[in-house]
Amino acid sequence: DAGVIQSPRHEVTEMGQEVTLRCKPISGHNSLFWYRQTMMRGLELLIYFNNNVPIDDSGMPEDRFSAKMPNASFSTLKIQPSEPRDSAVYFCASSLGGTLSYEQYFGPGTRLTVT
Amino acid sequence: AQSVAQPEDQVNVAEGNPLTVKCTYSVSGNPYLFWYVQYPNRGLQFLLKYITGDNLVKGSYGFEAEFNKSQTSFHLKKPSALVSDSALYFCAVRDQRSSSASKIIFGSGTRLSIRP
């Protein structure tokens, strides 16, 4: 089975530009999570969806960040405008959900560098 | 408040020796606990979980974890360490406040270094 797919794997952009990160969860999973990882702050949950509906976006740092999940097989995380402090590795994860199936499966991540 | 704590930022072990990576948790009710591993430049990989049943849980790559309710701990163990086990390890607990989704609270991570 294909795991969680993220694109692009690497993104280098200039400050002020719009960045869009993409994620395809594991087929059949009904929960999707966006995380950010940095050396300074560790692993942070940004937002998560259940059945395509955003449940908790309290981790989204600023209004510059937005996330959508238009269907069960696709999600985007957008940063507009980007800033150097947004440089991090962004992970998408999905989970089957339901009793006894709470473990999350992570994608390979997108390494974002904002210059 | 629900949380997990990994008291050691780094653990150093010689190859062939047993290893333990510590984790303690704080939740109300019965915990759902997890261990994940992250190799360099990779995403987190699920290793094992405890939900109910036997206190000793076996997982991938020869790892196991022992659930101890009285000590609120869920330490990760392996009888004989390999150099290839060197990675960042995360303990996690299911956020029981999120009834509609499988939100997990992750610890800060422990870097395991196995020397040849």
Q: How far is residue A111's CA from residue A91's CA, in Å, rounded to a whole number?
A: 9
A99: confidence class by pLDDT, cuts 50, 70, 90: low
Question: Is-contact A68 A48, C-beta < 8 A?
Answer: no
Interface test with A, best of B44, B90, B99 (most A CBs within 10 A): B44
A63 to chain B, minimum CA–CA distance in Å?
22
pLDDT at A108 (0 to 100)? 96
A42 and B109 in contact by Cβ < 8 A?
yes
Question: Touching check for A113 and chain B: CB below 8 Å?
Answer: no
Q: Summarize pLDDT for A27-40 with one digit per residue, the tens.
A: 999 999 999 999 99
Residues recorded for chain B: 116
B29: confidence class by pLDDT, cuts 50, 70, 90: confident
A15 to chain B, minimum CA–CA distance in Å?
24
B102 and A104 in contact by Cβ < 8 A?
yes
pLDDT at B97 (0 to 100)? 72
- Give A 3-32 residues with CB within 8 A of chain B: 4, 31
Give the nearest chain A residue to B39 (CA atoms): A108
Q: Summarize pLDDT for B56-97 with one digit per residue, the tens.
A: 999 999 999 999 999 999 999 999 999 999 999 999 998 877
A contacts of B106 (beta carbons < 8 Å) = 42-43
Question: Touching check for A107 and chain B: CB below 8 Å?
Answer: yes
Q: Is the pLDDT of residue A1 over 70?
A: no
Residue among B98, B38, B60, B79 nearest A48 (CA)? B98
More confident residue, B31 or A76: A76
